[in-house]
Structure 1
Amino acid sequence: MPVAKFCAGALLMCALALPAMAQQGPRRDDFYWLGEINKASAVINSEEGLLDPALAPRIAAGLDQVLRAGDAPGGKRPNLVITFEPLLIDAAGVEATLLHAGRSSQDMLSTVRAAIIRDDLLRLAEQLRKTTATMTRLAERHAGTIVPNYTNGVAAQPNSYGHYLLGHVAGLERDAQRLREAFARVDRSPMGTTVLNGTSWPLNRDRMARYLGFPATVDNAYDAAQISAAEIPVEVGALATSIAIHAGAFVEDVMTQYAQSRPWILLQEGGGNTYVSSAMPQKRNPGLLNDTRAEASRVVTLGIGRAIQAHNIPPGMSDPKSVRDNTAVVAGAIRVLENWDRILNAMVISPERALEELNSDWTASQEVADVLMRKYRLPFRVGHHFASEIVDYAKEHDIRPTDFPYAEARRIYADTLREMKVEGGELPMSEEEFRATLDPVAIIRNRATAGGPQPAEMTRMVGEANRVLAQQDEWIKAQRGRIDGALASLDGDFGRLLARAR
């Protein structure tokens, strides 16, 4: 089987596995937007001399009949121009095709797809904002919770768990930025570009765009259905992939705790968060983590599939344009974020156990080298070697940081200076200072770098995160208000045209 056909088939199977998104209000599907385009064409063309005003009310009445029938339970809701138009002809006569002046399936369906993706992106933006807000609240609550952080899968340094969460908040804010940037490129009307190079009909593209809630038009007629229409799904797929990758990284970080006999993060048991093993009564499997990771993997598959289907095809081909496939990508990303929000609300964090893990390992050892350099001007590599020798000795003799003999530290320091041919005397740290330097809580409290986990910076960054979340909320409401207002205006003007048929 050719690779392109296999990938397209795999993508469709993934899409079929994803349930349809529940929508609030009217079903803004392909049928809905074809109806809005026809309503706008009837109003604009009858007012601007492209459609006989005497015929317009009868055509409007037929269109209204088709739309009402489609909204009824079990009603026909065709998603193509060539299957929508016969219903209109049956309701209003062949004269109804006068609405088709200067139009094509190409620009109409490109507009439909743009409008649907636009709605999907706003739903995604809302869930992204909600999940980020939950994470920000949790970060504020755990600003003083000191936990191990890991690099290369190994305990590396102590950190505030709130600071760790704000790192993920920063990543989600970049996703929100990408979403707004993608939205601006989607939020342009292709209507009036016909197929490739426009039309000889003097269509009012700007007015059509305003009625459909678009603030601008796609400028170049060739770009509208041939280039932009195939490019946008790839960008949306990349956005969904980024969100899924962020979620997967977080899930895996929590998942590693379940391999420990005494984890410091667990999910609350029950409620769909965990389930009991069928054979091993002691096991509480983290089902919610598994499900979220699996969903994230599906989204990555779908997102990359958007690029595969757009790859190596001539301009204008329909391969990457499927509403079903593109909606599935965004719907999957929304589910990932919903599950991530559930995880955040279900986590049980033990500060005592986290601190115990820190004090049982040597994640604070870098601070010894830092203090020796910052306060006593010892070259960092010498201090690093000294701290490394202490760790080696401690692990060889199974000694915890809180129990390390000060006399042994002094001996290792003297040996390090001789080995590295550095002049100096006794270990300049007192025993009290040596032990305080290994205190994970003190390390976090004494951080001085902007963007660090120290209390003042945590307060600042939480405040900034909340400010950004408020801006996101305002942006979402503004876009929805603009679109809904435009559609209400179209309904009003179409209603006046329709009234003339009665």
Structure 2
Amino acid sequence: MNEVSTDDVRLWGGRFAGGPAEAVAQLSVSVGFDWRLARHDLAGSRAHARVLARAGLLSEAELAQVLDALAALGEECAAGRFRPTVADEDVHTALERGLLERLGPLGGKLRAGRSRNDQIATDLRLYLREAARGLGGQLADLAAALTEQAHQHLHTPAPGMTHLQHAQPISFAHQLLAHVQPLLRDLDRLRDWDARAAISPLGAGALAGSSLPLDPETVAAELGFTQACANSIDAVADRDFVAELLFVTALVGVHLSRLGEEVVLWTSQEFGWVELDDRYATGSSIMPQKKNADVAELARGKAGRLVGGLVAVLTMLKGLPLAYDRDLQEDKEPAFDAVDTLALVLPALTGMVATMTVRADRLAAAAPIGYSLATEVADWLVRRGVPFREAHETTGRLVAWCAGQERELHEVTDAELAAIDERLTAEVREVLSVDSALAARTTPGSTGPKPVADQLAAVQAELARWQEWTAQPATPS
């Protein structure tokens, strides 16, 4: 076997008389962050080795040697025994060095018919498809925690708000399930994204495909993709799949932020609706009495980071000519950061929600405050034939009178009701309770006991289906 030097395993050095300047080398290096793609790069190399053998470019014996070396290299990477060095420009360079160390010149045969351009596009799709299922599982866990709390508080009345002002009584379960619905849509988006991302760039080469008799469709199937890319230029230049996933993660961040903001409010002294478990709260370094909802606040803060990653990638992409440009190196760090950020935030939020104590007594006491039953009065008048415009005006005068007298609606006497409007008879009292207001909401999707119970059952069934999807591997093992 001829000896091959592995001191400098640059994948592009043949045309150059010397190495790059130190500043250029430092600017170009990406192995510090793309090393996490090593397992996926090795999977692509295994599939590529097999297609080279089918094309007659590797003998059966050589294929066996290559596959054994790739397997050994994968084990050493997983165990941390093989690591990139300061001389390795990227994950591809590092792994080729590992193959050359084990196979000599035979290791160099694997480069035939592929480029770092189609390799990195393939590796990143493999990684993100796997990561998306992991995030989907964590989203489903958070949705399940919210759903379980909703199950416990199906009959807990609460103030429903608009403009952060008391509006109408609702079931607290309805409020919790309102946070589940966007998470279910996020799961839908992840699955839709995955279907579009399940396209293999391997075989596109640098941009023009290969003159070697390769089989991109077989490689795609082996790697768990649904098909090979239809256009080799688009295959290496496309980063829609990164931008689209970053949109999904940014929107997830926004949804988590809105949940976090509500928890911050609910746990404040002014609200006092929820008490956090000590394990999911923090204190103050100076004020010993403090119990802060830092998990919720961090979820709220991380939304800006996730939105920033999306903006960074869209801005990087907007002026690029086809096909591959080195600017595309900037796609990975925002994508990795989004995955890592949500992988930190979601379990913490899930634990916080699952262990929080809901103060049902305080919620029930707050439900009628702020004249939240006024709409019930207006609707009661409508059911008696009063045009809603008039019913609205009449109820508004009733509320204004109560506000001036510092009285609640149910405290108004029959005579005072009649003085405001003779159509406000004593029978209006039948709607001046939170229970009657909730019971009256019977339409699908509303806050009445049956519609909320129906919604709860539907959400639980849907979450079970999502757990099945997130458990399915994106790529063959």
What is the percentage of aligned positions where both structures have the same residue? 26
Residue of 381, 403, 411 corresponding to 2:411: 403
> Structure 1 residues 156 and 48 mapped into 2: Cα distance closer, same or farther (>3 Å)?
same
**1:264-309 CA-partner distances (Å, limit 9, x unpaired):** 22323x224242x444454432222222222333223333333233
Quick one: which amino acid aligns to residue 49 of structure 1?
A: G
Question: Are 1:98 and 2:109 an aligned pair?
Answer: yes
Residue 95 of structure 1: how far off its partner (Å) = 3.4
Query: Which AA in structure 1 matches 2:414?
Result: Y
Q: In structure 2, which of residues 206, 223, 247 is the aligned counterpart of residue 195 of structure 1?
A: 206
1:367 lines up with 2:361 in the alignment: no
Find out whether 1:438 has 2:432 as its counterpart.
Answer: yes
**Does 1:254 find its partner at 2:268?**
no
Hey, what's the Cα distance between the residues in 1 that align with 2:157 and 2:58?
A: 71
Q: What is the deviation of 1:58?
A: 4.0
| Cα distance change of structure 1 residues 84 and 132 upon mapping to structure 2, 3 Å threshold | same
Distance 1:86 1:166 in 2: 53
CA offset at residue 397 of structure 1?
1.4
Aligned counterpart in structure 2 of residue 87 of structure 1, from 91, 95, 98: 98
Secondary structure of 1:451's match?
A: coil
Range 49-58 or range 445-454, more displaced: 49-58
Deviation at 1:336, TM superposition (A): 2.6
Q: How far 1:372 moved relative to its partner?
A: 0.6
Distance 2:159 2:74 in 1: 60
Matched AA of 2:187: A
d(CA) in 2 for partners of 1:339, 1:149: 26
Q: 1:45 aligns with which of 29, 40, 52?
A: 52
1:362-417: per-residue Cα shift (whole Å, max 9, x none)? 011011111111x211011111111111111111111122312232121111xxxx
Give deviations 1:204-236, integer Å, cap 9, x for gaps: 112212222223222221111112xx2111111
Pick closer, same or farther for the CA change 1:246–1:65 going to 2, 3 Å: closer
What amino acid sits opposite 1:149 in the alignment? G
Partner of 2:459: 465
Q: What secondary structure is seen at the aligned counterpart in 2 of 1:285?
A: coil
Aligned letter for 1:50? L
Call closer, same or farther: CA 1:28–1:407 in 2, change over 3 Å: farther
Q: 2:469 aligns with which of 475, 493, 502?
A: 475
Equivalence for 2:299? 292
Alpha-carbon distance between aligned partners in 1 of 2:371 and 2:158, rounded to the nearest angstrom: 13
Question: CA shift at 1:107, angstroms?
Answer: 0.7
**AA matched with 1:455:** P
> Residue 165 in 1 paired to residue 182 in 2?
no
The correspondence for 1:382, drawn from 390, 396, 401, is 390
Residue 158 of structure 1 aligns to a residue whose secondary structure is strand
Using a 3 Å threshold, how does the CA distance of structure 1 residues 453 and 72 change in structure 2: closer, same or farther?
closer
Measure how far apart 1:105 and its partner are: 0.8
State the partner residue of 1:416: none
Aligned partner of 1:185 in structure 2 is 196
CA contact (8 A) 1:37 1:108 kept: yes
In the other structure, the counterpart of 2:320 is 313
Q: CA deviation at 1:327?
A: 1.5
Structure 1 unaligned segments of length 5 or more: list them. 1-15, 21-26, 414-425, 488-502
**Counterpart amino acid of 2:457?**
G
SS of the counterpart of 1:147? strand
Which position in structure 1 is the counterpart of 2:341? Answer: 332
Q: Which amino acid aligns with 2:54?
A: E
Q: Which moved more, 1:292-301 or 1:67-76?
A: 67-76
> Is residue 231 from structure 1 mapped to residue 247 from structure 2 by the alignment?
no
Match of 1:391 in 2: 399
Report deviation, 1:469. Answer: 0.9
Q: How far apart, CA to CA, are the structure 2 residues paired with 1:319 and 1:462?
A: 47
Partner of 1:132: 143
- Residue pair 1:120, 1:327 contacting (<8 A) in 2 also: no
> Aligned letter for 1:394?
C
Q: Distance in 2 between matches of 1:103 and 1:85?
A: 13
Mapped partners of 2:73, 2:271: distance in 1: 64
> Is 1:29 the equivalent of 2:39?
no
One-letter code aligned to 1:378: V
What is the letter of the counterpart of residue 304 of structure 2? S
* Residue 473 of structure 1, CA deviation: 1.6
Q: What is the aligned length?
A: 440
Native 8 Å contact 2:280 2:352 kept in 1: no
Aligned-partner residue type, residue 210 of structure 1: A
Q: 1:133 to 1:96 in 2, by over 3 A?
A: same
TM-score by length of structure 2 reads 0.86
Contact 1:107-1:224 within 8 A present in 2 as well = yes
Change (3 A) 1:262 1:53: closer
Shift of 1:319: 3.4
| Structure 1 counterpart of 2:224 | 213
Cα distance in 2 for partners of 1:161, 1:457 equals 13
Task: Point out 4+ residue stretches in structure 1 off by more than 6 angstroms.
Answer: none
* Root-mean-square deviation (Å): 2.4
Distance 1:448 1:98 in 2: 70
Task: Give a deviation string over 1:189-212, Cα, whole Å, max 9, x none.
Answer: 111111222111121112212222
1:341 aligned partner, one-letter code: T
Contact (CA 8 Å) 1:47, 1:53: kept in 2 or not? Answer: no
Q: Distance in 2 between matches of 1:318 and 1:183?
A: 25
Cα separation, partners in 2 of 1:342 and 1:308, compared to 1, 3 Å: farther
Q: Deviations over 1:6-28 (max 9, x none)?
A: xxxxxxxxxx9xxx9xxxxxx99
Partners of 2:411 and 2:120 in 1: CA distance: 72
| Residue type of the alignment partner of 2:42 | G
Counterpart residue identity of residue 134, structure 1: A
1:10 is matched with which residue? none
In the alignment, the residues of structure 2 paired with residue 443 and residue 193 of structure 1 have an alpha-carbon distance, to the nearest angstrom, of 63
Report the alpha carbon displacement of residue 102 of structure 1 after superposing the two structures with TM: 1.4
Q: Output the CA distance in 2 between the equivalents of 1:191 and 1:225.
A: 9
SS in 2 for 1:256: helix
**C-alpha separation between the residues in 2 aligned to 1:262 and 1:110?**
50
Distance 1:356 1:75, change over 3 A: same
> Secondary structure, in 3 states, of the residue corresponding to 1:359?
coil
Deviation larger for 213-222 or 258-267 = 258-267
Shifted more, 153-162 versus 43-52: the winner is: 43-52
